[in-house]
Amino acid sequence: MPITLHRGDITTDAAADAIVNAANSSLLGGGGVDGAIHRAAGPALLAECRRIGGCDTGDAVITGAGDLPVRHVIHTVGPVWHGGDDGEPELLASCHRRAIALAAGHGCARVAFPAISCGIYGYPLELAAPLAIATTAAALAEHPSVVEARFWLFGDDVFAAFAGALG
């Protein structure tokens, strides 16, 4: 299957061509995986994000990767969980679709994903994991030049949820 699961630090994935950043709408860094990616990439990433000027929830933009061991960072803004009736599933699915489409458009064969919206944004793992896996699988089928989505999962609970969703 073109979806693989990994434990640990997404910023060290030298096998990927692009890392997906679970960004905030400003693109200027934050906590969690967003902060880790910005710290590892260095000031060039922040400078590029400042030029872009932001990103809407459910959308994605692509930049260079600064000091990361990949060519690109795909910044996507996941939804904050408000109970599920505020369009959160559609927005989270859109994050995965847009990331794969941007990867394909920029010649990226392998893309590393975090668990988008599952940290401070509060999206329940038991809902996010199957949605992320199913949407990513469908997007990979639409974009066969992207041969692998590599989910980097921090914590046993997150890994277990994605492993269960992957089957």
Q: Which of 13, 17, 34, 86 is catalytic?
A: 34
Separation in Å, CA 122 to CA 63, 78, 81, 87, 112: 26, 10, 5, 14, 21
Q: Report H helices in the chain.
A: 32-41, 43-52, 88-105, 125-142, 156-166
Query: In which residue are the tokens 């000091």 written?
Result: 67
Q: Is 86 a catalytic residue?
A: no
> Interior CA angle at 34 toward 27 and 29, to 5°?
40
Nearest to 77 by CA among 88, 86, 68, 66: 88
Q: What are 60's two structure tokens?
A: 């994605």
Catalytic residues: 34
